[in-house]
A and B are shown apart, each in its own frame.
Chain A
């Protein structure tokens, strides 16, 4: 704040006609206009999902009187399974992925951040480089492996890799976090004769809860929104996730039930919005510590 207060004075002197106060109002007007433009499509989606089908494209206003829940009722049942099935499928995958990432990434991160062993730097460099590896390069053989194992139409291809620390981004995030913990705690633990596993489970894990929270939130958002994986591996309607199920509305567009499609789109965004409301702090911290999304 101090820099701003001192900076404002010469600014005002250069433009004597514009008072700092007026500048502030202009700024807010611009920002509010920008915010509305950014969020308007989302608001329109939500309001449209409550409009009767023939009204959706007639007016672009988000202020309207005759709202109905009909789209939600028809949308919930208009695909092969009730929409709840797809939500449940997505939730199961997301929860398992979160558990997998928390366990495997924290183990790997502890090794990289706290332990000294032969080849650590080489492995760490490899780990960082896998963040940049395009997934297409491993796609065909992975698909072949899963097919030979009989894993197609199961959630295993989406979940098992998470238990083997394949999300290098989270390993890196946790490494950053563990490195910032005070070294004295570990020295004290070692004097008390704690082994590395105790140091990990009793000292590191409780202290790195914020990093674990960030990991859980990001994992949830990414697996919930993931489309390519479920599209590839889950090919029977009973197994569909929310994102693949939503695609079903596009395939059957001859019926053009836009209301139902919008309603279920809103339903699919609700969990992301809840996570956003309650997890914002950890999301933003996660960004700040790693410098990448």
Chain B
């Protein structure tokens, strides 16, 4: 079961109210959890509250916040943020990347998983080949490679030249296309969800398909009436988590644009802009904290929406 499935089960158990057990291991439990407690406190709770506080202040990195507390400026950071066209550009870029890249990548992963699951010979070899890009996809080296593949004189344009397109644009250098090369990079890494889907498909008992075949159901019908419902929890969990992770994309955008988010801010991903605001130009860390909290709210809203919509397509057999 995935982490989200676990949370869901716990919530429903709570509603039914049958968590009642004795606690014989209190001392051992807390001893074993000491590192985790420290970690969650020092690296999660305290920083979260601190960044919420800082988002209402004018905080510059170069001062010591303990000796010289940053002045409270109320909602100014948030107001400035909402009036900042570059902020909205970075928001738009990221949302486009997420709502196109994530579903398309998962669709590819699902299609390949179903295709491979029908007893293809050499499954392990194909699986390995498709999986390899997703293992390397987050690295700087691959982003560098991408920059060259989709450059003016890159591999992709040489390929187009073979098909007779003589003077194709430089995709990385063109504000209309640059983002889509990064979306393509995301889709290229469909191997990891594919492996998850393959594992999920293995869990579906063969007899369902055998019965459906006897009843004369076509492959397409079998997919929509057996595979999809039984795989839907796994698809859902992957959708939720991939959206959350994709909202935080940084490396690819940084390397492909050389750190600028260009051309014309067309690859200025949200996290890249946050980095520029908080750590590069004027060290406006109050503003950066406001951006971080806005991102958290957006991700929470995305996730809530996903859960609401899941009632219409995710099937739990409990």
Q: Is A137's CB under 8 angstroms from B292's CB? A: yes
B43 touches A287 (CB 8 A): no
Query: A3-B206, A121-B10, A292-B3 known; A261 and B144 CB under 8 Å?
Result: yes
Chain B, residues 36-58, CB within 8 Å of chain A (1/0): the string is: 10111011101110110010000
Instruction: Select which of A35, A111, A132 is within 8 A of B129 by beta carbon.
Output: A35
- A249 vs B258: C-alpha distance in the bound complex, in angstroms? 10
B5 in the interface, Cβ–Cβ < 8 Å?
yes
CB contact under 8 A between A287 and B295, given known A139-B288, A144-B65, A227-B251: no
- Interface hit among B81-89, B163-171, B187-195, B309-317: B187-195
B267 at the interface (CB under 8 A from A): no
Contact A139 B51 (CB under 8 A): yes
A134 and B299 contacting across the interface, CB-CB below 8 Å: yes
Are B288's CB and A291's CB within 8 A? no
Which chain B positions have C-beta within 8 A of A246? 140-141, 144
Interchain nearest-CB distance for B65 vs A (Å): 6
Bound: A163/B196 CA distance, A: 28
Known A-B contacts A121-B10, A142-B47, A200-B32; the reply to A280 vs B128 at CB < 8 A is yes
CA–CA, A128 and B158, complex, Å? 47
Query: A4 at the A/B interface (Cβ < 8 Å)?
Result: yes
Q: Is B308 an interface residue (CB 8 A)?
A: no
How far does the alpha carbon of A130 sit from the alpha carbon of B289 in the complex, in Å? 18
**A243, B36: Cβ atoms closer than 8 Å:** no
Hey, which chain B residues are within 8 Å of A126, CB to CB?
A: 40
Contact of B192 among A120, A139, A287 (CB under 8 A): A287
Interchain CB contact (< 8 A) of A104 among B36, B54, B259:
B36
Min distance, Cβ A88 to any Cβ of chain B, angstroms: 17
- Interface digits, B174-193 against A, CB 8 Å rule (1 contact, 0 not)? 00000000000000100011
Asked if B228 is at the interface of the complex by the 8 Å CB criterion, the answer is no
Chain A residue numbers with a CB within 8 Å of B91 are none
Count of A residues near B, CB < 8 Å?
A: 112
Interface class of chain A by DSSP: helix
Residues of chain B lying within 8 A (CB to CB) of residue A165: 35-36, 39
Q: Do residues A250 and B258 form an inter-chain contact, with CB atoms below 8 A?
A: yes
Chain A 204-225, CB-CB to B under 8 Å as 1, else 0, gives 0000000000000000011011
- Separation of A247 and B147 alpha carbons in the complex (Å): 12
A17 CB, min distance to chain B CBs, angstroms: 17
Residues of B in contact with A, size category: 35 or more
Asked if B29 and A120 sit within 8 Å, CB to CB, the answer is yes
Residues of B within 8 A of A11 (CB): 219
Set of chain B residues within 8 Å of A291, measured between Cβ atoms = 1-3, 5, 196, 199-200, 234, 237-238
Within 8 A of B (CB), among A88-113: 103-104, 107-108, 110-112
Pairwise interchain contact B22-A243, C-beta atoms closer than 8 A: no
Residues in chain A within 8 A of chain B (CB atoms): 1-4, 6-7, 10-11, 24, 27-28, 31, 34-35, 38-42, 44-45, 57, 59-60, 103-104, 107-108, 110-112, 115-118, 120-121, 123-145, 147-148, 161, 163-166, 169, 171-172, 176, 195-197, 200, 221-222, 224-225, 227-228, 231-232, 242-244, 246-247, 249-251, 253, 258, 261-262, 265-266, 268-269, 272-273, 275-276, 280, 283-284, 287-288, 290-293
Chain B residues proximal to chain A, CB less than 8 Å: 1-7, 10, 14, 19, 21-26, 28-30, 32-33, 35-36, 38-40, 42-44, 46-48, 50-51, 54, 59, 61, 64-66, 112, 115-116, 118-122, 126-136, 138-142, 144-149, 153-155, 158-159, 188, 192-193, 195-196, 199-200, 206, 209-210, 213, 216, 219, 234, 237-238, 240-241, 244, 247-248, 250-251, 254-255, 258-259, 271, 274-275, 278-279, 285, 288-289, 291-293, 295-296, 299, 303
* Shortest Cβ-Cβ A-B pairs, 5 listed: A164-B39, A117-B29, A291-B2, A288-B199, A141-B50
Mind listing 12 A-B residue pairs with CB under 8 Å?
Answer: A60-B155, A132-B241, A133-B44, A143-B285, A165-B35, A172-B6, A246-B140, A247-B259, A265-B141, A276-B128, A276-B131, A287-B199
Q: Add 13 more A-B contacts to A57-B158, A107-B35, A228-B275 (CB < 8 A).
A: A2-B206, A60-B159, A112-B33, A121-B10, A130-B40, A133-B48, A139-B47, A141-B47, A247-B254, A250-B255, A262-B145, A283-B195, A291-B200
